[in-house]
Structure 1
Amino acid sequence: MKVVEAFSGIGSQSKALSNIGADYEVVATIEWDINAIYAYDIIHNGPQDLSEYENVTKEELIEKLSVHTISGNGKEPLQKSNLKRYPLDALMRIDYAIKRTKNLVSITDVKAINLPDNVDLLTYSFPCQDLSLSGSWHGNTKGIDRDANNRSGMLWEVERIIKEYDEIGKSKPKFLLMENVTNIRSKRHISNFTEWTTFLEEMGYINQIYDLSADNFGIPQKRKRTFMISVLHNGNENFKKEVEIYFKNNNLESVNHEPKHLKNFLRTDYNVDAYRKEALSSTPNYTISRRKIEISNDKLVENQKVCQSYVRTITTKQDRHPNSGVISLPKSLDAKTPFRYLTPRECFMLMGFDEKDYQNLIDNNFMFNRSREFYGVEKLNKLAGNSIVVNVLEDIFKQIIEIQKIYKLKQKETSI
């Protein structure tokens, strides 16, 4: 299966496909945030060999990277003047990651002709900031309006690319997979979403929409998201009918896997040096607002005992109200406050990544300047919060593989 991961983040799609033993190849990624680009590379490909840059100058790398539309925060593009402030080591790592992950960088620069031939699956988890409820609290109300000129409006770049497939006579991806917040189907956004699904139907796809929560797929996190599998039928009514029957008989909204106990995801043995340091790094200064956070949010651990079955949705920030939950700390830890937030390690694991994935990333963190590392707590939490729960994707990809088998059987009977 040839896969293109658009808005790839840290690669939850690739992780899920690997976990289920799928025969797949990620033939391209599309991601402009350098923090996610580097993390994806390390998590999925391991340490980098930067020996090829031995005779490359900083100026040469700046010229090379400035060709791309890349971002340092996932919001605004980096200009050449910004890149000049980056150390050579960071520039090398970013360039290497772009190459090794076959990253086409910004979706605004990607055209169908740039994508490999015969793509089986295109995933597109476009930014949710302008669709989410928290986004509306901050005045982000345009959602996926065509004229919004915002991050969530990147959906229409996917539309452009799919249209280009037809315009140049290139075979469209056999499957599309969308993920976003459930608010995409709210009263405010439903007309835009319906326009999108109608477009896909006109392009020869059948759509199956699910609202799926991580806690039904073995992860103790209350995190519901909207997923849409689009299957290309190109007018083959027999195949289309079989796909409809398959989805009717295999509705993932009925799945309820037994969740693992929350204690398996929390790292509260503070005799382990790494866990103790991470706990202290996730301890806020004690202010009136932080006192409110402590009182008002679920106590996940109290008196060193896990007292909840689930955490709330992991978002891009833990230092907010409401958050995923707080953990009471023993007095012996001598922390700034009597509680802490989830650590980035715990957040990664509660998104379905292995502890070794997180450890690989930490082992390959580097000093960005004299005073700070490339990844601090806030960046790591953001990477986790922007990701997709791997376990949910595993069941979705199992369905896609099953439908692919149906597709191949029908292909023997008639050309799809």
Structure 2
Amino acid sequence: MFRVIETFSGIGAQAKALERLGIKYEIVNTCDWDINAIIAYCRIHKGVIDVSACKEKTDEEIETFLRNTTLSLDGKKPISEYAFNRLTPEFRRLLYAAIKQTRNFVSITDVHGSDIYEGADLLTYSFPCQDLSLCGCWHGNKSGIARDAHNRSGMLWEVERILKEMHSANRQLPKFLVMENVTNILSTTHKRDFDDWKDTLVSMGYVNHIYRLNAKNFGVPQKRERAYMISVLCGGDSAKEALIDKYFSENNLEEDLIARRYRSRKFYLRDVLKLDYRKKCYREEANASQPNDTPSRVKIYQENDMLYDGRKINEIYVNTVTTKQDRNPNSGLITYDSGREGKSKWRYLTPRECFMLMGFDEYDYDAVISDNPEFKKNTRLLTNEKLIKMAGNSICVDVLEAIFKQLVEMNRLVSSDLNAYEFNGSEFHRDHA
């Protein structure tokens, strides 16, 4: 059994990758404070939110529990007292059930080393990138992951705090750590702070290896380059450290041929774009993704890739799926004329298409939107904008699959128990096409 703790779990790209691999795994805990992601994660990975499990709880008990957690409505700041008071009793119960069902720690600031399961195989952390990204720098935000910045990307140091608490208490640390973030974390601007973090991990017995990986090299029609750091717990054992160093030198995922060896599948834009508008949900989603015909949108039309011109799909690698499509640049446009007055003759990618470009299956998206809860009077929780944001904040599932295959191989390499994990098949499926 591969036991995993997902911090900054979002909609659960890590769990999705493990599911695809066929490995027997358990998500011991998740950790995310964004109410939207909490609901979406539970729907994707648990199928339904089982409210009946908390039927013995009174509304007052549920309110007390939620008030004692640090929740967020936008993933940026804690929910205000005013906004919390507007949450309906029914939605509070749904949220409580989702938190319990996914064993969600909620805010990482409230987690302690004593809370972390000893003997975990993997802890993942994909902390917020806003203060690291080039976009943030363009807006004057250059604080990055500085210890004293007290910003969103500084949540990295909460991971350090937790691991240090475990280490100081002689609690068993996770065998593997996997970090994902924007590649700007590797830039000269952030080098000192990132080196500080790497040195901390080395002092606790980890060996670190950094990848710059692009989703397009793993069978995904998206140009999405991200930094990944794999940390392997060797505990100062020089023989294990040498094995791990040799493994990475011989199985470098940054090399195209090796990336192809580890990828699980290859899919195309034709597998993603939902152009059959005879299907009601596709038509409604297309309408919701069709902007008004304004001067700024004309500029967007002129300067972005046309993915479908009304006759033929342009089979390219789309630009990175970000948290917003109504922007310039974006991931691409689709010719679309709904006949509605004042609308452009094109649309953006729909949330469904964004989810699929991140490696999720269409049924995952259907699960998320299967029941859009009313979280305050006359207001539904899941909007187009929130759904796209959740996709843009996620990690490409197919890249994680390749990384997780390597974790299992490395575990076998340094473990005396070569049958530590069971799989659906004797070997991972590898696409050599």
Separation in structure 2 between the aligned mates of residue 309 and residue 341 of structure 1, nearest angstrom:
16
Bigger relative contact order, structure 1 or 2, given CA contacts below 8 A and separation 6+?
2
Q: Is 2:184 the partner of 1:177?
A: no
Correspondence for 1:408 among 380, 392, 415: 415
Q: CA deviation at 1:366?
A: 1.9
Separation in structure 2 between the aligned mates of residue 204 and residue 40 of structure 1, nearest angstrom:
32
Q: Is 2:391 the partner of 1:379?
A: no
Partner SS, residue 3 of structure 1 = strand
Query: Would you say the 8 A contact 2:412–2:418 is kept in 1?
Result: no
Q: Which residue of 1 aligns with 2:168?
A: 167
Separation in structure 2 between the aligned mates of residue 120 and residue 79 of structure 1, nearest angstrom:
36
Residues 57 and 241 of structure 1: CA distance in aligned 2, closer, same or farther (over 3 Å) = same
Residues 362 and 304 of structure 1: CA distance in aligned 2, closer, same or farther (over 3 Å) = farther
Q: Which residue of 2 aligns with 1:307?
A: 314
Q: CA deviation at 1:137?
A: 2.1
Q: CA deviation at 1:192?
A: 1.0
Q: Which residue of 1 aligns with 2:41?
A: 40
Structure 2 segments unaligned to the other structure (5+ residues) = 420-433
Partner SS, residue 369 of structure 2 = helix
- The C-alpha deviation readout for 1:272-300, integer Å capped at 9, x for no partner, is 11000000001111111111111111111
Q: Which residue of 2 aligns with 1:397?
A: 404
Letter in structure 2 aligned against 1:300: L
Q: CA deviation at 1:187?
A: 1.7
Q: Map 1:287-306 onto structure 2 (within 5 A).
A: 287-306=294-313
Q: Is 2:287 the partner of 1:280?
A: yes
Q: Map 1:135-214 onto structure 2 (within 5 A).
A: 135-214=136-215
Q: CA deviation at 1:407?
A: 2.1
Letter in structure 1 aligned against 2:276: D
How many residue pairs were aligned? Answer: 412
Q: CA deviation at 1:379?
A: 0.3
Q: Which residue of 2 aligns with 1:350?
A: 357
Separation in structure 2 between the aligned mates of residue 331 and residue 358 of structure 1, nearest angstrom:
23
Separation in structure 2 between the aligned mates of residue 330 and residue 111 of structure 1, nearest angstrom:
53
Residues 367 and 240 of structure 1: CA distance in aligned 2, closer, same or farther (over 3 Å) = same
Q: Which residue of 2 aligns with 1:244?
A: 245
- The C-alpha deviation readout for 1:98-118, integer Å capped at 9, x for no partner, is 101111111111111011121
Correspondence for 1:364 among 340, 361, 371: 371
Separation in structure 2 between the aligned mates of residue 41 and residue 348 of structure 1, nearest angstrom:
16
Partner SS, residue 179 of structure 1 = strand
Greater shift, 6-15 or 22-31, is seen at 22-31
Q: CA deviation at 1:311?
A: 1.0
Q: Which residue of 2 aligns with 1:18?
A: 19
Residues 334 and 305 of structure 1: CA distance in aligned 2, closer, same or farther (over 3 Å) = farther
Partner SS, residue 189 of structure 1 = helix
Separation in structure 1 between the aligned mates of residue 312 and residue 268 of structure 2, nearest angstrom:
12
Partner SS, residue 254 of structure 2 = helix
Q: CA deviation at 1:80?
A: 4.1
Separation in structure 2 between the aligned mates of residue 333 and residue 82 of structure 1, nearest angstrom:
35
Q: Map 1:24-63 onto structure 2 (within 5 A).
A: 24-54=25-55, 56-63=57-64
- The C-alpha deviation readout for 1:169-217, integer Å capped at 9, x for no partner, is 1011110000000000112111111111121112111111100011000
Q: CA deviation at 1:371?
A: 4.0
Residues 304 and 273 of structure 1: CA distance in aligned 2, closer, same or farther (over 3 Å) = farther
- The C-alpha deviation readout for 1:1-20, integer Å capped at 9, x for no partner, is 11110100000001001100
- The C-alpha deviation readout for 1:299-318, integer Å capped at 9, x for no partner, is 11102321241210000000
Greater shift, 21-30 or 44-53, is seen at 44-53
Greater shift, 333-342 or 383-392, is seen at 333-342
Q: Which residue of 2 aligns with 1:71?
A: 72
Separation in structure 2 between the aligned mates of residue 264 and residue 201 of structure 1, nearest angstrom:
43
Partner SS, residue 158 of structure 1 = helix
Greater shift, 261-270 or 393-402, is seen at 261-270
Q: CA deviation at 1:62?
A: 1.9
Query: Would you say the 8 A contact 2:50–2:98 is kept in 1?
Result: no
Q: CA deviation at 1:365?
A: 1.9
Greater shift, 362-371 or 234-243, is seen at 362-371
Q: Which residue of 1 aligns with 2:94?
A: 93
Separation in structure 2 between the aligned mates of residue 161 and residue 55 of structure 1, nearest angstrom:
33
Partner SS, residue 27 of structure 1 = strand
Q: Which residue of 1 aligns with 2:423?
A: none
Q: CA deviation at 1:52?
A: 4.3
Partner SS, residue 363 of structure 1 = coil
Query: Would you say the 8 A contact 1:304–1:329 is kept in 2?
Result: no
Q: Map 1:200-279 onto structure 2 (within 5 A).
A: 200-254=201-255, 255-256=259-260, 259-279=266-286
Separation in structure 2 between the aligned mates of residue 141 and residue 408 of structure 1, nearest angstrom:
42
Q: Is 2:329 the partner of 1:328?
A: no
Separation in structure 1 between the aligned mates of residue 50 and residue 180 of structure 2, nearest angstrom:
33
Query: Would you say the 8 A contact 1:182–1:211 is kept in 2?
Result: yes
User: Percent identity at matched positions?
Assistant: 50
Pairwise CA RMSD: 1.8
Q: CA deviation at 1:79?
A: 3.9
Query: Would you say the 8 A contact 2:351–2:391 is kept in 1?
Result: yes
Partner SS, residue 320 of structure 2 = coil
Partner SS, residue 177 of structure 2 = strand
Residues 70 and 370 of structure 1: CA distance in aligned 2, closer, same or farther (over 3 Å) = closer
Structure 1 segments unaligned to the other structure (5+ residues) = none
Query: Would you say the 8 A contact 2:49–2:101 is kept in 1?
Result: no
Q: CA deviation at 1:87?
A: 1.0
Partner SS, residue 293 of structure 2 = coil
Task: Compute the TM-score of the two structures, normalised by the length of structure 2.
Answer: 0.92
Separation in structure 1 between the aligned mates of residue 298 and residue 374 of structure 2, nearest angstrom:
33
Letter in structure 1 aligned against 2:15: S
- The C-alpha deviation readout for 1:338-387, integer Å capped at 9, x for no partner, is 11100000000000000000001111322334543210100000000000
